[in-house]
Structure 1
């Protein structure tokens, strides 16, 4: 599989290029930068710090349309939708790790999946996706007798809150408990809020320093508390998961997939 990386000079882009370079069964087909970048034409491997690999960075997907089979996108909602539409038009697969998409943007991504194979997940980490499976099992066993609280922490530059991963964790727990997260989610607490209701799922958010990503889900009742925790110390864990998803897409028909499909956890 020939993989294209967009945002190739960013922190995530460099990690993706490195992960592709180190992985089996995939190769870097294209590296896309912002139009006007001074790095256009530079070797993508040198941009990422892995040495020359013979792939010159370009300014737009249109400049490399024949050079890749699947695109990995960790950009912004609006740009991701443009890229997904491009991939659908040209029958390219796409792996989307972008967070912060609203319901209409997710619907637009689903439209692209009618013509293109799409893996979309709020978190590409293998460990996080295993954690989602554990959360569903815990919620099913513990039931309504346990309060559920989700605490997440990220670096100061993250623009969406709660994180897409935290929201997905909430959705998984709510589904396992037969609830709708939209009806039971509580985002932060302040003042005289009164006693906690039995079926609410609480979210607390921390933004500080250079925290890559930490998520903790509490199941608490009188006398005990169970915590299921995932901590990421490097963006490489997300990059490796995304590359694994790109490799998995080989030969897949158009449709919407997630990391639970990639890891055969369903």
Structure 2
């Protein structure tokens, strides 16, 4: 295991996807991380200066302290098993996991630090915390969430909007109403509105570039690598926040 003040040795699993490619590109700008392997599908990716491995070659990976997984459910169990064997932190944004795979995250958290998130924007993590606190303070107010994305996005409400709704419910009171808009090439906007008699609070997050999600995942990997085993949220790993198991 590398010293805590050395760059975290990182593996990116799902390196050929859009998110994986952004992670590889931006990792070069992160001095707290050192990319030691990139893994993708049935064929090893070709990335200058980085050893590439196919998904079936996980046993051959070099030593690492953290893995970021943005792949497919079919490869999820294998990469989680490799992290457990290595004692490495596991950061995943893979969607479509079944109930058994979600349960495995809790089981793995007894042995390694684990973070799964639908959205790795650091701003959205702070927004969720603010929304939870507002809902707790204003239990009788009306709650509405309006989310806006590009015209090609199919799911509605968005996963982030639903996560914000969960934060409202965690704060107490009624679930929100949702509205979804699809227009142009908007990366993502989320408005959470609390309305009382004669007054209104609006909490808004606007994403202007998709790199924010890769930067957030890289931040989480570097912050999680030397933490105690447990389930973590993105908010737990922000500066000034105390990480804790879920």
State the distance in 1 between where 2:152 and 2:80 align: 25
Q: Is the 8 A contact 1:41 1:58 kept in 2?
A: yes
CA–CA separation in structure 2 for the residues paired with 1:15 and 1:41:
14
Distance of aligned partners of 1:93 and 1:6 in 2 relative to their CA distance in 1, 3 Å threshold? same
* Residue number among 22, 32, 45 corresponding to 2:39 in the alignment: 32
Report deviation, 1:89.
3.3
TM-score by length of 2: 0.82
* Structure 2 Cα separation of the partners of residues 160 and 82 of structure 1: 28
Q: Which of 76, 79, 82 is matched with 1:83 structurally?
A: 79
Task: State how 1:119-158 maps to structure 2 within 5 Å.
Answer: 119-144=115-140, 146-155=141-150
Q: Hey, what does 2:3 align to over in structure 1? A: none
Residue by residue, what CA displacement relative to the aligned partner does 1:2-36 show, whole Å, maximum 9, x if unpaired? 11112212221121112211012111111112214
Residues 96 and 120 in structure 1, CA contact (< 8 A), matched pair in contact too:
yes
Question: Cα 1:202–1:257, aligned 2, differ >3 Å: closer, same or farther?
Answer: same
CA distance in 2, matches of 1:104, 1:208: 36
Match of 2:161?
Answer: 166
Give the match for residue 220 of structure 1: 195
Query: Residue 235 of structure 1: which of 182, 202, 210 is its match?
Result: 210
The residue that corresponds to 2:18 in the other structure is 11
Which string of whole-angstrom CA distances, capped at 9 and with x for unpartnered residues, describes residues 24-58 of structure 1?
2111111112214xxx352x2xxxxxxx4x11322
Q: Please give the TM-score of this superposition, normalised by the length of structure 1.
A: 0.77
Alpha-carbon offset, residue 156 of structure 1: 5.4
Cα shift readout 1:56-98 (whole Å, capped 9, x = no counterpart): 3221251642243211112234433442233223322211123
Matches within 5 A, 1:206-217: 206-207=181-182, 210-217=185-192
Give the Cα separation in 2 of the matches to 1:208 and 1:66: 45
CA contact (8 A) 2:27 2:218 kept: yes
Task: Determine if contact 1:88/1:113 at 8 Å carries over to the other structure.
Answer: no
1:41–1:235: structure 2 CA closer, same or farther, 3 Å change rule?
closer
- Could you tell me whether the CA contact under 8 Å between 1:81 and 1:109 is conserved in 2? no
Counterpart Cα distance in 1 of 2:131 and 2:70: 25
Q: Which one of the candidate residues 93, 96, 108 is aligned to 1:112? A: 108
Contact 1:99 1:163 in 2 (8 A): no
Q: Is the 8 A contact 1:73 1:94 kept in 2?
A: yes
**Hey, what does 1:58 align to over in structure 2?**
53
CA RMSD of aligned residues (A): 2.5
Offset, 1:254: 2.2
Shift of 1:157: 5.5
Structure 2 distance, partners of 1:6, 1:208, is 32
Shift of 1:245: 0.9
Query: Which residue in the other structure is 1:247 paired with?
Result: 222
SS of the residue 1:228 aligns to: strand
Matched residues, number: 233
